[in-house]
Structure 1
């Protein structure tokens, strides 16, 4: 297992340095009322694992200006974030973008409260995003107006007329570069493919032959990948393809290798192209990892084989990300490394708590629920502190990372400042606050997520402590 992980890390490094075609790209912006806040830019490493990757972050200056710099190799969807607000757009390698953000919401009442997306005003023409936004608006309006005709009556003629109208408008678009135009054309095509699939106005067989068979795999086109996910969803078990589910189960139980499974999947005429076939297999293996009909160890081993042996660099990268996604926070796995400075100035990591259970919780100072939980945590800490280390990670989206919860009295446990370590938040999949995690005495995941303080977590604490005492007791002590 350790050798596998070393190889995966090595291949990840090779993939990183091999991206020689990446070009520097810049965003110059003004964030009204955003002075002192952090603006960050992220993207997905791929659209199979959807693992988020931080591209850059910057404190917004006193004059409300900021600049972000990053490298990408192609047109790619990126996400601009301030606090819990976000905005996505398509960035093209080598370009500079100038924009203004005019609706920042500071410190919402709850981290779980719905917030408006960031509103972006482009300070100069941004043709690609403009035509995509216009198309999305027109496409959404058509779908809303004709929902019954499409999904109940399956009016293929109506859809065909609309598709022709859109194609005519696209062909008249003159402001895009050749590369942008090709991206936009594919974006439109696969949006329509997805609608045809959802409304069943075109057969699955025809859609597969038209949009996938012997067609390039468009890893960075979100429209293509959305249709890919829908079309190949539950690939082995849906019964919609030429693949027999029970035959596949038998092959997996017979410990067949990757090459044999690739041959088996190749029975599907849509998957004559090796690149697409392997991507479909990789996505399907991810889907069945937790399926009780399959051995997760064997499934994981096959994903590792793709990550290590695939001739397609994109699939090696995706394989590593999928493995990390499936195993990083799984019960029994070592918790991801965490090293942060505490409010007392001492650097802490999880090894400092070895020998105790760890009740790790991520909280934010713009979260009312977090503050309300503190009284229950105080009581739990008082009762269980000899066996359980209570450790909070305080999240604040400003440069100094100071959190008002760190100043509250009667919080006698380690309080760690996340110090803008967004990769750490992504690793622990912190999507909302509060998030609670319970680790065992060796630093392995016991519960993810764990129950909250007011959800009878103390009963589980009692069980763990009593179980440990029973294990360590001498035989004659058990009968006293």
Structure 2
């Protein structure tokens, strides 16, 4: 009997997940890696990889994923990304990933393009959200006078917004899709929040009561979480000044989640425990990067939430936040990678252990990083106890090969990133050049590390290497009155 119950439970759990397949065309990205990702949560902004594959030589790709609920996902090829809402009622999507003509190789910023859907049903979540977004854009930007009233926050705009709510409510009332209705509610709510946020405490409380208080937290709905994150943009600055002082004391002196919660519960915006705890996690993430708070205590309170929270979602979000804020801090392990150098040998952090490793990220289109390569050539001859690794971020492998061919005097490890976009994410690369110094045991020594040449009168990595050299090669000193 127990075995039968276990089988039934297992079958029920399987039915909760929907298998979804994407059949895609991306002829402009042949032989490139395409990743299907989604946010683990909208507080830490960590991403989870659903699946990844290579676009084949004909420009085709296929991706499969299992989903428990509707959510927003991304398809990424290099720095180009397209958005896809997963609808559990749609089992297969046929998608065209167009060439991204608005971005160039010389950017490290993600750029969103519009995916083209083939045979998309009119009741699919993507179709409905695209349709609503067009309605919203027309409401905001289709009438210059209305746009002016919005910019000046005139009362007439609020009347127009109320009319728009009624119109949209009627238009989509027959679609029984909870994600859609929450998306619409909080996209409109976000506009209302922007209109009313500077009009005093009365209006702020109206927003809180109408959209957040006593409403279910929609962790996977991007519109809800955008609304939440704007309202609790600076959670520990939201209460009145006397409460803020108690918050600071609870973190810096008492190092206690319980005392922090008690300090905040005197604010009308922290009355509900579940909502309050989520806002506290966000606030602690902000606090870690502020000089007002003890960083060790912030981490300690987050660890307390990750261990003891009543809600599993919050445990996971707190864990993600800890990972986010500790990422690339001194003495944390450096993100792993495995790449081929110019001699076709595999280079990874395991093979580099035992020595300090200096990594620089460069490209053939960035003049500053190319200039620094000349200085690195001198440094690697001077400091033989340092591993030097240069990672080239050119998308076009021919540009990398040409660079290697024209600089065969550079004999240290130089690798191309091989379209492994996770390297950008793992090392938080948003500009070039970027440098990292790794300890012999594989942990971070400096991030960002000093550059090869002094910048704005700052130190150069040469000084750090000199200090390491002294530490490694300590010379015996004569002691006065002692034996030599």
TM-score range, shorter chain: 0.7 to 0.9
Q: Distance in 2 between matches of 1:229 and 1:274?
A: 17
Using structure 1 for the length normalisation, give the TM-score.
0.82
Separation (CA, whole Å) in 2 of partners of 1:277 and 1:20:
33
Which of 69, 84, 90 is residue 64 of structure 2 equivalent to? Answer: 69
Secondary structure, aligned partner of 1:33: helix
- 1:366 to partner: Cα distance: 6.6
Counterpart of 1:102 in structure 2 is 98
What is the aligned partner in structure 1 of residue 164 from structure 2? 165
Distance 1:220 1:49, change over 3 A: same
Counterparts of 2:333 and 2:179 in 1: how far apart (Å)? 44
Aligned partner of 2:244 in structure 1 is 245
CA deviation after TM superposition for structure 1 residue 361, in Å: 2.1
**Alignment CA distance shift 1:120-1:338 (3 Å):** closer
Q: What are structure 1's unaligned runs of at least 5 residues?
A: 1-17
Deviation digits for residues 201-233 of structure 1, max 9, x if unmatched?
A: 872122112111111111122222222222212
SS in 2 for 1:270: helix
Q: In 1, Cα distance between the equivalents of 2:240 and 2:458?
A: 49
Instruction: Give me the whole-angstrom Cα distance separating, in 1, the residues matched to 2:433 and 2:470.
Output: 33
> What residue is the counterpart of 1:390 in the other structure?
388
Shift of 1:323: 0.6
TM score, norm. by length of structure 2: 0.82
CA contact (8 A) 1:392 1:415 kept: yes
What SS does the aligned partner of 2:193 have? Answer: helix
Q: Which SS does the other structure have where 1:392 is aligned?
A: strand
Residues 353-372 of structure 1 mapped to structure 2, 5 A cutoff:
353-364=352-363, 370-371=369-370
Shift in Å, 1:180: 4.4
Find the aligned partners of 1:188 and 1:459 in 2 and give their Cα distance. 47
SS at match of 2:460: helix
Shift of 1:76: 1.6
Distance 2:224 2:38 in 1: 17
Give the conservation status (yes or no) of the 8 Å contact 1:110–1:369. no
Show structure 2 runs of 5+ residues with no match: 1-12, 121-125
**Which structure exhibits the higher relative contact order, with contacts defined as CA atoms closer than 8 Å and separated by 6 or more residues?**
1
Bigger Rg over Cα: 2
Deviation for aligned residue 1:309: 1.6
In the alignment, which residue of structure 2 is the partner of 1:131? 131
Match of 1:88 among 80, 83, 91: 83
Matched, 1:52 2:47: yes
Q: Write the distance in 1 (CA, Å) between the matches of 2:475 and 2:14.
A: 57
CA RMSD of aligned residues (A): 3.5
Segment of structure 1 superposing worse, 399-408 or 52-61: 399-408
Measured against aligned partners, the alpha-carbon deviations of 1:47-72 in whole angstroms (never above 9, x if no partner) come to 11112222222222233222222223
State whether residues 255 and 301 of structure 2, in contact with CA within 8 Å, keep that contact through their aligned partners in structure 1.
Answer: no
User: How many corresponding residue pairs?
Assistant: 457
Q: Any idea what the Cα deviations from partners look like across 1:324-357, whole Å, max 9, x if unmatched?
A: 1111211343323344444444443324434533
* 1:347/1:197 CA distance change after superposition, 3 Å: farther
Aligned to 1:12: none
SS across alignment from 2:88: coil
